Amino acid sequence: MPAPVLMLLNRPSLDADPLDAAAPPHASLDPRSPSVNVLDLGVTRGDGIFETISVASGRPQALEPHLARFARSATMLELPAPDLDAWRAAILAAIDQHDPVPEAMLKTVLTRGVEGASAPTGWVYLEQSADFRAARAEGIRVVTLDRGYPSTVQQSAPWLLQGAKTLSYAVNRAALREAARRGADDVIFTTTDGYVLEGPTSTLVLRAGRELVTPPTDFGILPGTTQASIFEYAESVGLATAVKPLTPRDLATSDAAWLVSSVRHAAPIRELDGVARDIDTALTGDINAHLLARVT
């Protein structure tokens, strides 16, 4: 397997001090060597944001939507605004440095930096992707879990940062462990007032007839870059798309459903809360082929 690539940004935001005024915009580091200060707030508090970007045959997929969401998350956390030109350059440099592979996973991370300092920390990490062919072709087993919030949480309690892609992923990891205990591969969160939301690392898309539907982001859901690409493709082949509230019954009675994400792409749901369900093999194949073939 090719060695991963790590790029440290010297000045991830123009609104804050650089790490070193004399250093280049980004530098390649050995990912096996210590690189992050133990007092960095991203490590000690989870005080930071990230994006995960698929790289297919050397092309970063949906790069601009990912960068826009990165900036949106920074605004929600009141972090220094990322210098998107600097991040874009570091991303492309990391891809150029990595040995060619069919699929890779690239992660951008921005933290508030070392406690007491004035410079945020930012890095880009790139490695070959895991093999998701089985999940894409055969589907995944999913359970629904209560997230513990109503659908109005983003409006009533914005300080909970629902809808931001933060480093605070302990709850998401705990949910996946609970799924494994129940014999499942993944999770769909539900609200206390009876709606379905998203997965810990994915967006829900279902098909009802010839319409693809996803829940609204004002329920505290992360805007899905992969979901947006899928909807663009669906509309190009004559399928309707909609964003609207969905209940567990809507999910259970849908003609097909997927959890979609940047690196795994579209994984069809073959079992929901222990009940087997059909998968739309043809549409799944078309969607994943489209996602892998994107040039931007």
Q: State residue 295's pLDDT score.
A: 72
Are residue 61 and residue 80 in the same domain, yes or no?
Answer: yes
- pLDDT for the residue numbered 241: 98
160-213 pLDDT, tens digit each: 999 999 999 999 999 999 999 999 999 999 999 999 999 999 999 999 999 999
Query: Is 61 in the same domain as 167?
Result: no
What's residue 21's pLDDT? 86
CB atoms within 10 A of CB 84: 14
Residues 198 and 100 in one domain: no
Q: Quote the pLDDT of residue 34.
A: 87
What is the Cα–Cα distance from 131 to 128, expressed in whole angstroms?
9
Q: For residues 187 and 222, state if they share a domain.
A: yes
Encode pLDDT of 84-116 as tens digits: 999 999 999 999 999 999 999 999 999 999 999
CATH of residue 252: 3.20.10.10
Task: Return the residue matching tokens 């999910």.
Answer: 251
Note the pTM of the prediction, 2 decimals. 0.94
* Residue where a domain stops, chosen among 112, 128, 144: 128
- Asked whether residue 149 falls in the same domain as residue 282, the answer is yes
Q: What is the pLDDT of residue 294?
A: 85
What the block records as the tokens of 206 is 């279902």
pLDDT surpassing 80 at residue 81: yes
Is the same domain home to 158 and 279?
yes
Other CB atoms within a 10 A radius of the CB of residue 278 amount to: 11
Strand partners, 271: 141, 276
Segments forming the whole domain that contains residue 98: 5-128
- Two tokens at 3? 């060695």
Judge if 150 and 238 occupy the same domain: yes
186 and 222 fall within a common domain: yes
**CATH number, domain containing residue 9:** 3.30.470.10
Residues 259 and 265: their CA atoms lie apart, in Å, by 8
Q: Is the pLDDT of residue 20 over 80?
A: yes
- Name the domain boundary from 128, 144, 165: 128
Q: Are residues 280 and 169 in the same domain?
A: yes
CB 145 within 8 A of CB 189: yes
Q: Are residues 42 and 78 in the same domain?
A: yes
Q: How many domains does the chain have?
A: 2
Please indicate, yes or no, whether residues 150 and 283 belong to a single structural domain of this protein.
yes
* 287/151 same-domain check: yes
- Give the residue from 98, 128, 158 where a domain finishes: 128
Please check whether residue 123 is in contact with residue 9, taking contact to mean a CB–CB distance below 8 angstroms: yes
